[in-house]
Structure 1
């Protein structure tokens, strides 16, 4: 499940697999997009660690909840995974296709209502 050797060892989570893991509280989801993207739409329960200032050593560490990375389409999460590998920080994988794949699968996100500024869970 973990990778620590080479980029090709990175596990691709499908949206359904990640959704199930999050429902079981079995993973820590790290969003590597930028703050504006995170504010516009995010997966409930994800934590923000933007790639522009990404520090693998600062990631939350809970052996019972391995880290899964995600971004918009999967490129930045792969780049962040490579940084983790180089730093010797183990992660479980990343969301293949990123938030785009998550949304295409019809899974819920947290957004901001532009009229009120309130946070809204959307299916």
Structure 2
């Protein structure tokens, strides 16, 4: 995990593996800030969808029980949303390094689209 201090806040960048471990342990709320179309095509199981175009940092709940971690396709949009949260007063916020691309590169399971049927299906990549 990398961290950066912005004013009095801490902005963390988590690896996909760190994110998966925390998500599996129910320690975080993972928020996908991509478009609904991107989410429907493929997403991380258990992630909540809150598209960046509708994002309002001031409407997020506090983090008293679980840390909020954002992700997108490449890490650019989730970093932008994280910085909006810091501007709104969050003291600790995180995003996933390289987003969904990093998640897939790390060969972590996710929900994808079966191209033959159009139905969602679990994708479990094989390790090298």
TM bracket (short chain) = 0.7 to 0.9
Residue 67 of structure 1 corresponds to 68
Bigger helix fraction: 1
**Does residue 1:122 correspond to 2:118, yes or no?**
no
**Which has a greater percent of strand?**
2
Q: For the Cα contact (< 8 Å) 2:9–2:86, is it kept in 1? A: no
SS in 1 for 2:18: helix
Q: Which has the higher contact order (CA 8 A, sep 6+)?
A: 1
Structure 1: runs of 5 or more not aligned? none
Distance 1:7 1:43, change over 3 A: farther
Which sections of structure 2, spanning at least 5 residues, go unmatched? none
The CA RMSD over aligned residues, in Å, is 2.3
> How far apart, in 2, do the equivalents of 1:87 and 1:48 lie?
20
* Cα deviation, residue 64, structure 1: 1.6
After TM superposition, the score normalised by the length of structure 2 is 0.84
Contact 2:86/2:93, CA 8 A, preserved across alignment: no
Q: What is the match of residue 42 of structure 1?
A: 43
Q: Which protein has the larger Cα radius of gyration, Structure 1 or Structure 2?
A: 2
| Paired positions, count | 122
Q: Determine helix, strand or coil for the equivalent of 1:9.
A: strand
TM-score normalised over the length of structure 1: 0.87
Q: Give the aligned partner of residue 56 of structure 1.
A: 57
Measure the CA separation in 2 of the matches of 1:71 and 1:82: 14
CA–CA distance in structure 2, aligned partners of residues 3 and 58 of structure 1: 24
